[in-house]
Structure 1
Amino acid sequence: MKRLIYTVLLFVSISTLSFSQEAVEKKSPPEGNALVGDYYGADVSKVSENKAIPVDKLESGLKDSKRIENVAVKGVVTDVCEKRGCWLTIKTEGGNPFFVKMKDYAFFVPTALKGKNVVLEGVAEKNITSVEELKHYAKDAKKPQSEIDAITAPKEEIRFVADGIKVVN
């Protein structure tokens, strides 16, 4: 009986380590060309580009409120996390980058999304990002060390947590 219990425990331990190793090894962003009509995360195929608001209008809407839920925003992707595709930035008309994370890290995007027009659905909120977190994202974006070292103060910015992202024309 002891032998059976030890065998089962050994099997469970090996299985757990195997699955953990598999999760750790999956570090690169998904493959793909990010073609018009492709979507990532929740199915946003029903979201019309016409119903999505420009990022700059979202910025003005957040002056009155700290958080806006269930909003669709459109913009051009300027950067994608090269490590996993776990965040991206959107260009605003005012030139400020708009930072986007994926909800609960439930999905990632390919680096080919850079330069594409997208519609995002999710939650926008004002946020103060710590120096440590800003440096982390700068490292992920493979910024030069001098640029990373220049980050010395927290930054107030709009953060977007995307439920889904759709590539549009």
Structure 2
Amino acid sequence: MKKIVLLFAVCFAIVSCKNETKTPEDSTPEVSKEIAYASFGEKIEANDILSQEQIMKAYKGLKVGDTITTKIEGKIIEVCSKKGCWMTLDMDGENEVMVKFKDYGFFMPLNAEGDVIINGKAFVTETSVDELRHYAEDAGKSEDEIAAITDPKFEYRFEADGVLLKQ
């Protein structure tokens, strides 16, 4: 019986002293390209975004009074220098979209620049001379530039309920 206990103790010692080297599996975390955004207005996600070509095609098919609810991305050209209550976005180098914010519920930082994703309603309108002059004044244009505005303008517009500003 002593031999069995001794044999058992020796086997246990050998098994417990075994120098087992485990190779760790590749535990490198998968890196995802997550972009940081500053959010304004309603919470929106950076998905299901129409391309600039798609939105410009949709804009060209609209008549005054028509709207489309969508999400688009663009580069900020200009922000209202008084309150941040509007901004203009470059769509394709040729066209720009005037963006206002739903019910003046939020504003953009006065120094906002770069790319944004906006969610809301796209529409077209004819902007009056008085309104164009008001926007020029807000943008800090000179008196001569403001006085040079004499004709109404057909514009692509957007009423945003949420904005993501890339940081």
Going from structure 1 to structure 2, the CA distance change for 1:128 and 1:36 (only over 3 Å counts) comes to same
Which of 123, 147, 157 is matched with 2:155 structurally? Answer: 157
Which of 146, 149, 166 is matched with 1:148 structurally? Answer: 146
Distance (whole Å) between structure 2 residues aligned to residue 90 and residue 37 of structure 1: 17
Going from structure 1 to structure 2, the CA distance change for 1:147 and 1:96 (only over 3 Å counts) comes to farther
* Structure 1 position 98, deviation (Å): 1.3
Q: Percent identity?
A: 37
Distance (whole Å) between structure 1 residues aligned to residue 150 and residue 51 of structure 2: 30
Q: Find the counterpart in structure 2 of residue 37 from structure 1.
A: 37
Q: Find the counterpart in structure 1 of residue 60 from structure 2.
A: 63
Q: Find the counterpart in structure 2 of residue 89 from structure 1.
A: 88
Q: Any idea what SS the aligned residue of 1:128 has?
A: strand
Which blocks of at least 5 consecutive residues in structure 2 are unaligned?
Answer: 1-34
More helix by share: 1
Q: Find the counterpart in structure 2 of residue 112 from structure 1.
A: 111
Q: Any idea what SS the aligned residue of 2:37 has?
A: coil
| Conserved 8 A contact 1:56-1:94 | no
Distance (whole Å) between structure 1 residues aligned to residue 153 and residue 105 of structure 2: 26
Going from structure 1 to structure 2, the CA distance change for 1:62 and 1:40 (only over 3 Å counts) comes to same
| Conserved 8 A contact 1:103-1:163 | yes
* Structure 1 position 144, deviation (Å): 1.4
Give the CA RMSD over aligned residues.
1.7
| Conserved 8 A contact 1:122-1:162 | yes
Distance (whole Å) between structure 1 residues aligned to residue 137 and residue 156 of structure 2: 20
What is the identity, as a one-letter code, of the residue corresponding to 1:69?
I
| Count of residues paired in the alignment | 131
Q: Any idea what SS the aligned residue of 1:147 has?
A: helix
* Structure 1 position 145, deviation (Å): 1.4
Q: Any idea what SS the aligned residue of 2:132 has?
A: helix
* Structure 1 position 93, deviation (Å): 1.3
